[in-house]
Chains A and B, each alone.
Chain A
Amino acid sequence: MEETINERKANPVLKFFGSVKLAIVLLILLAVFSVAGTMIPQKEGAMEFIQGLNPATFNLLDFFGLFDLYHAGWFRLLIGLLALNLVVCSIERFPSAWRRVKARPSVDRSQPFENLPDTLVISTDSGYEEALRISQNLLKKRFRTLRSERKKDRVFFLAEKGSFSHLGVFLVHLSVLVILIGALAGSFFGFEGFVKIAEGETVDSIMPRSGNQSFSPGFEIRCDKFTVEFYDNGSPREYRSAVTFLVGGKEVEKRDILVNHPVTFNGITFYQSTYEKVAGRGLRIKLSKEGGKEDLKPIDAEIGQQIQLPGKEGFFQVLDIRHMGTAPAALVSVETGKGEPTRFWIFENFELIRSRLPEQMIKSPRFDPSAFKPYTFSLLGVQERYATGLQANQDPGVPIVWAGFILIVLGFIVTFFTSQQFVRVLVEKKNNKTVIMVTGSASRNRPALDRDLQRLVEDIRSLLAA
């Protein structure tokens, strides 16, 4: 590694952008600014925090994008610099790593065999040729490459494995880039959206999280049913939305969406996100007539249903049902055929609601249940139903990110848990004896090499004895 850096000393710019020091500084800067992002409330969460700030502080923080720090230009620039650093440093260092992968050290070196401990030397009466054969077979089995050289009465073996270990670090760096590319692809070509669908309703547009222009995904989604189950202690057990996907009004697919079990349709993935209770289409209304002796029977109605008034003065219908604050309310329209229809809202628990409403509202005919004389309308109850809130996302970057994840794990294993091993064996004929010597070197994890060498010596010994 040192060599390459020296060779390129001529270019200080490359040297700067490829340096390990820059990498460390960038990593620590990213860490420090990320900390700031967890301390300063971000995005939607920042509203309350912002209200407590004086304008100068707010302007300063806002100028640096600190309320959406992770998407601020300068934060992305830091990530970009880290990526550049990875690329330059990898390009700088790859040639020397490749040379080490391809290195073929000379075989007939006797210096590594000097001063070996006795545990790595075998002296035997067995035949020289047999010792050669045994050593060669064992080395061939255990290593990727084996070279040998014969010099008079001695044979040098050089076995090697794990040269790819030098490339692991490049795999790790590459995978970080792959993950960043995946994230970029997602932010350019993907979207995050949301749909809220009441049971029985069909929706044909998605509201993106950023921006307020909803768009059509080219199909419709109907929520057939939403269920929520609870454990005995009251905590939720399961949220389930049964939905139907339709194209051009035709049912195409029926699926259940649960937390942790999203459903993908036409490239858009739907996640169970929230739910709420909303008013349904049915309600129960009671009419009473001014001065009337007895109450009239309650009427069950649906939105849009025309109902004749008891005194045949005309018809009424319910146009809308919704929750106002927490109270269910219905918009009633009474039509007599003459003039404009009379429209007014009626509430459930009107006496209670009245005490909470502002004066002008109570006086307004739009909130007067007796606006159409001689009747007084009261709302006894509305049907309730659930509306499910589904996150609707499309992210073409996900497979790229997943690939990056797999690569980074492989890269770590290669980088940290493999090493290049060179093992040298010298078989020598000395007088009437045969001497076998074993030694080696490793790019990392020397203790493992020592164990391997010891095992090799023992195996040679036992094979010779057999």
Chain B
Amino acid sequence: MTSSGILSYLTFVYFLAFVFYLLMMVMGRQVPGRLATYTLLGSFATHTAAIILRWQESYAAGMGRAPFSNLYESLIFFAWTLSLLYLIVEWRTRNKSAGAFITPLIFLAMAYASFSPNISSKIMPLIPALKSNWLITHVITCFLGYAAFGLSFGFSLMYLFKGGDSGDRTASFLRLIPARGILEELNYQMVVIGFLMLTLGIITGSVWAHSAWGSYWSWDPKETWSLITWFVYAAVIHSRLVRGWKGKKIIILCIVGFACVLFTYFGVNYLAGLHSYATN
């Protein structure tokens, strides 16, 4: 089977993981939680293998390039970084409740890549502008950043779901979600990782643009939107220093930040610019 065949099947496995996480939340039992983690781990391992396979396929087709060069491949890689980062967080925090919020994101990215009629999964050769050693570093840093912001978005949603600390709501769905204070801390950690990675992504992108287009910054829509995202998360990080700004305000700013990430990633394709090869 080809890599894209395997990856389209994986879409369903990720959905299955989501169902298990949801069952765990609703039933409040450990068994579906364990199943969810195993499903996700298995899916992630296969996903990794499929990306390596795709790399090999490109060599076999005589193109020999990293599988990070169009919208399809970036979505697949985005889903991969999301699973990787989520699995690390689950392992470090020993709490599985975020799984119910992150696996849908992974599923959506995979489904969009595999089943959208506008996205081709064909392995295409690299156009001259993409032939650079910066391609791999740029894509990896950007997508690790996007994934961290995706997790921050998940924690922000959980924060909003959790409701106020006062009302002792005992629905098991909410009981498994950590306390708001912990969610804020986790969210902040994700924002910090994302911010560092986004900064690295913008830096590698600038250095690359300098050698490909002759200018490290040309206010191309994608560049500009990544800077907008950077501004928003810089505001998030600074707002922790303002007294009385903890809590909901920051959470909302994080959701705005993730909306900017999504626009940087997808929305920009509707605006003309230099990054047009990422559209299909």
Residues of A participating in the B interface, judged by any CB pair closer than 8 Å: 20-21, 23-24, 27-28, 30-31, 34-35, 37-39, 42, 45, 70, 183, 192, 231, 233, 235-239, 258-262, 269, 271-273, 391, 393, 395, 398, 401-402, 405, 408-409, 412-413, 416
Contacts and interface: CB of A to CB of B under 8 A. Distances in A.
B221 A27 contact: no
A37 B224 contact: yes
A27 B200 contact: no
Contact of B211 (A30, A31, A261): A261
Interface of B: 124-125, 127-129, 131-132, 192, 195-196, 199-200, 203, 206-208, 210-217, 219, 221, 224-225, 227-228, 231-232, 234-235, 238-239, 241-242, 260, 268, 271-272
B128 A28 contact: no
A262 B238 contact: no
B227 A259 contact: no
A414 to B, nearest CB: 12
A405 B215 contact: no
A412 B191 CA distance: 13
Contacts of B212: 259-260, 271
B216 A401 contact: yes
Contacts of B221: 38
Contacts of A401: 206, 216
A264 B232 CA distance: 37
A409 B203 contact: yes
Contact of B234 (A27, A35, A237, A402): A27
A31 B231 contact: yes
Closest 7 CB pairs of A and B: A271-B214, A259-B128, A31-B231, A391-B214, A27-B235, A260-B132, A27-B231
B207 A402 contact: yes
Nearest to B134: A260
Nearest to A31: B231
Contact of A27 (B129, B238, B271, B272): B238
B214 A23 contact: no
23 contacts: A20-B239, A23-B238, A24-B238, A24-B239, A24-B242, A27-B232, A27-B238, A34-B227, A37-B219, A38-B225, A38-B268, A183-B217, A192-B215, A236-B128, A238-B128, A259-B128, A259-B131, A262-B211, A271-B213, A393-B214, A401-B216, A412-B195, A412-B199
B228 A31 contact: yes
B231 A38 contact: no
Contacts of B225: 34, 38
A38 B271 contact: yes
B216 A34 contact: no
Contact of A398 (B127, B208, B210, B272): B210
Contact of B231 (A28, A37, A192, A259): A28
Contact of B228 (A24, A35, A272, A273): A35
Nearest to B231: A31
**Best-surrounded residue of B196, B208, B260, B272 (most CB of chain A within 10 A):** B196
Given A24-B238, A38-B268, A273-B214, 16 more contacts: A20-B242, A21-B242, A24-B235, A24-B239, A27-B231, A27-B235, A34-B228, A70-B224, A239-B128, A260-B132, A271-B213, A391-B214, A401-B216, A402-B207, A408-B203, A416-B192
Contacts of A237: 125, 127-128
Nearest to A239: B128
A398 B216 contact: yes
A192 B132 contact: no
B199 A409 contact: yes
Given A398-B216, A416-B196, A233 B235 contact: no
Contacts of A28: 231-232, 235
B228 A235 contact: no
Contacts of B196: 409, 412-413, 416
Contacts of A231: 125
A24 B271 CA distance: 27
B221 to A, nearest CB: 5
Given A260-B128, A416-B196, A405 B203 contact: yes
**Best-surrounded residue of A34, A260, A273, A393 (most CB of chain B within 10 A):** A260
Contacts of B211: 260-262, 271
Contacts of B125: 231, 233, 235, 237
A390 to B, nearest CB: 9
Contacts of A259: 128-129, 131, 212
A66 to B, nearest CB: 13
Contacts of A35: 228
Contacts of A405: 203, 206-207
Contacts of B214: 192, 262, 269, 271, 273, 391, 393
A38 B224 contact: yes
B231 A30 contact: yes
B213 A258 contact: no
B248 to A, nearest CB: 16
A126 to B, nearest CB: 36
A153 to B, nearest CB: 42
A233 B132 CA distance: 21
A260 B131 contact: yes
Nearest to B210: A398
B224 A34 contact: yes
Contacts of B128: 236-239, 258-260, 272
A38 B267 CA distance: 11
A412 B141 CA distance: 15
A271 B216 CA distance: 13
Contacts of A21: 242
A396 to B, nearest CB: 13
Contact of B124 (A37, A235, A258): A235
Nearest to B212: A260
B174 to A, nearest CB: 25
**Best-surrounded residue of B200, B214, B228, B268 (most CB of chain A within 10 A):** B214
A445 to B, nearest CB: 10
A273 B212 CA distance: 9
Contacts of A31: 228, 231-232, 235, 260
Contacts of B207: 402, 405
A273 B129 CA distance: 10
A94 B192 CA distance: 22
